[in-house]
Structure 1
């Protein structure tokens, strides 16, 4: 909320009185009405809402008083004078209303931005505090699940693996919140270097395959060029995309990852045979916190994964595209990197004529 010093109402009142004197002595009604509007706009900028209303009411009363004094002492009740006074009052009223509305929207936007910053800071802090004990839980339960003494008891083995899987899912959600806090706080800095894309793709595939136990095949073209990117961010982004494909497709289906050069750009595709995308989902899929209505309550998630992936890929100079023939027709997410370089010119594939 804006604070008002004692000086500002006195200043605006003095300006209004000066305009009143000018209006009464010189009879420059049109100029005076515009000056009254300026006083109202000045009060909107520096005074509270109540102060602005008071200033606007004073300006309109002074306008009306100037009209009455002019007509009384100069006997000028002509039609133009009446119209000019009425229009002046209408302009001041409309200006006050619109200016207050605009200022209210600005205040709301400012409050929303501050709320979002506080929320992101809180999420980042809480997530960081949860990360340390959760890492210990994941490590301990993983050792417990693989212990030979538990192998003979299928019930305990299943229980230990269930705890491990849920702990790993929670760990991934916390990592998403940490990444979201880093993005919104503008702390994301890409460290790009010429990188072998197969290594980055392979690391992302291994991480998701170990977590979900899914069959993921990589079909990379021969002699892929080096790509100028941040390998850490891109690995995390591809992991998000592959994990998303695993969540939204059947457990026994296959996920195919391909990498090839098209139009002098490296295109990495992640395809699944899952639930597909509707037209609305396709247009909003990389938005923060977006989740399709048909998946709410059925498939867990926060709506951050693909937004984080899109941001990380953008920081490395690439972009993300979603392709789908429709609902239950599968989805292909394409990651395009335009900045490529071949180590050996003989590796450059021939271009189609």
Structure 2
């Protein structure tokens, strides 16, 4: 309604220039704009109000609802009819567009969850099958298995359990991000020790070399250690999964102004520039890559870093491979330097 009133006031002071018939067109445009923005009831009210305003303030004689000229009366009735029909049709078009968008969004959601279920059927079945197979072997050949074989089977169970736990954690973390249930538990963290701990807790065997040179000049940073440890582990897991066995994975940490900056780089093959924009999307997996993974790891990285009001980016290295960099604002303290002294 405010838009109609503003248009009417502007037209009233410009009446000597534009004429009252042109005002009708301008008011119709205003009704159309309202129909694109608001629900049907306020739109119909606007259509009626615009007709009455045009009659009272613009059609001669002004300041009365009486119309002397038959042509003007016919124009008024046509305006009223067109404004109402236009408002209804525009609203219906808008409603159909919304239905089409909702249908498209629903189809995308179904496709995403089908992708997730397909991935989970493999990711959960594989470690469960390993656990069941190892347990059956231990039970059925209890007295015939050598100690070394028993240790190997127990290692299989251990690795499969950790892999299973990782997938469950990813699902729970994504659920926390989706429902807004994520709450930060910030505390002072020694970044060097935090990185070493994240490397030691990796729940998989790997043949790549992970390199980290601690910087003793780094201050203590205040952030949620549990979440950022998950971020670092997901980045390392991603690098291990998509680099050759002899690759080198480098971790670096430094301070930039009031921000903590962490990076994970590798010397693998890198990826196509066109795929980088989709790396942090839910369930996204690079085309023509080996099976495994649910496509949640990097989207969780993005969610956890953004929860710290930070950002994450990926880029191909000039010499080959990729670098993932995360930065987030964090309170700093140099008390650890005093302790070392």
TM-score interval (norm. to shorter)? 0.5 to 0.7
Instruction: Answer whether contact 1:138 1:168 (CA < 8 A) is retained.
Output: no
User: What are the superposed Cα offsets for residues 22-78 of structure 1, whole Å, 9 maximum, x if unpaired?
Assistant: xxxxxxxxxxxxxxxxxxxxxxxxx99xxx9xxxxxxxxxxxxxxxxxxxxxxx995
Change (3 A) 1:135 1:252: closer
Q: Within 5 Å, give how 1:144-159 maps onto structure 2.
A: none
Q: Within 5 Å, give how 1:295-310 maps onto structure 2.
A: 295=289, 298-310=290-302
1:223 aligns with 2:214: no
Change (3 A) 1:143 1:215: farther
Query: 2:92 aligns to what?
Result: 100
Q: Distance in 2 between matches of 1:141 and 1:223?
A: 49
SS state at 2:250 partner:
strand
Q: Within 5 Å, give how 1:276-315 maps onto structure 2.
A: 276-295=270-289, 298-315=290-307
Change (3 A) 1:116 1:176: farther
SS state at 1:293 partner:
coil
Instruction: Answer whether contact 2:211 2:249 (CA < 8 A) is retained.
Output: yes
The offset of 1:85, in angstroms, is 4.0
Q: 2:253 aligns with which of 245, 259, 263?
A: 259
1:195 aligns with 2:177: no
Change (3 A) 1:289 1:119: closer
Q: Within 5 Å, give how 1:166-185 maps onto structure 2.
A: 168-185=162-179
Q: Within 5 Å, give how 1:35-114 maps onto structure 2.
A: 79-104=71-96
Is 107-116 or 284-293 further displaced after alignment? 107-116
Q: Distance in 2 between matches of 1:111 and 1:293?
A: 26
Change (3 A) 1:199 1:346: closer
In structure 1, runs of 5+ residues without a counterpart are 1-46, 53-75, 121-132, 348-353
CA RMSD, aligned part only? 5.5
The offset of 1:113, in angstroms, is 8.9
Instruction: Answer whether contact 2:278 2:284 (CA < 8 A) is retained.
Output: yes
Change (3 A) 1:156 1:193: closer
Query: 2:326 aligns to what?
Result: 335
Instruction: Answer whether contact 2:127 2:164 (CA < 8 A) is retained.
Output: no
Instruction: Answer whether contact 1:209 1:216 (CA < 8 A) is retained.
Output: no
Q: Distance in 2 between matches of 1:145 and 1:222?
A: 49
Instruction: Answer whether contact 1:209 1:215 (CA < 8 A) is retained.
Output: no
The offset of 1:318, in angstroms, is 3.1
The offset of 1:342, in angstroms, is 3.1
TM-score by length of 1: 0.60
SS state at 1:303 partner:
coil
Query: 2:26 aligns to what?
Result: none
The offset of 1:249, in angstroms, is 0.8
Q: Distance in 2 between matches of 1:310 and 1:172?
A: 17
User: What are the superposed Cα offsets for residues 67-112 of structure 1, whole Å, 9 maximum, x if unpaired?
Assistant: xxxxxxxxx9955555544444443333222212334555677799
Query: 1:322 aligns to what?
Result: 314
SS state at 2:183 partner:
coil
TM-score by length of 2: 0.61
SS state at 1:277 partner:
coil
Change (3 A) 1:151 1:316: farther
The offset of 1:225, in angstroms, is 0.8
SS state at 1:238 partner:
helix
The offset of 1:209, in angstroms, is 6.6
SS state at 1:169 partner:
helix
The offset of 1:206, in angstroms, is 1.4
SS state at 2:263 partner:
strand
Change (3 A) 1:200 1:316: farther
Q: 1:242 aligns with which of 201, 212, 236?
A: 236
The offset of 1:243, in angstroms, is 0.6
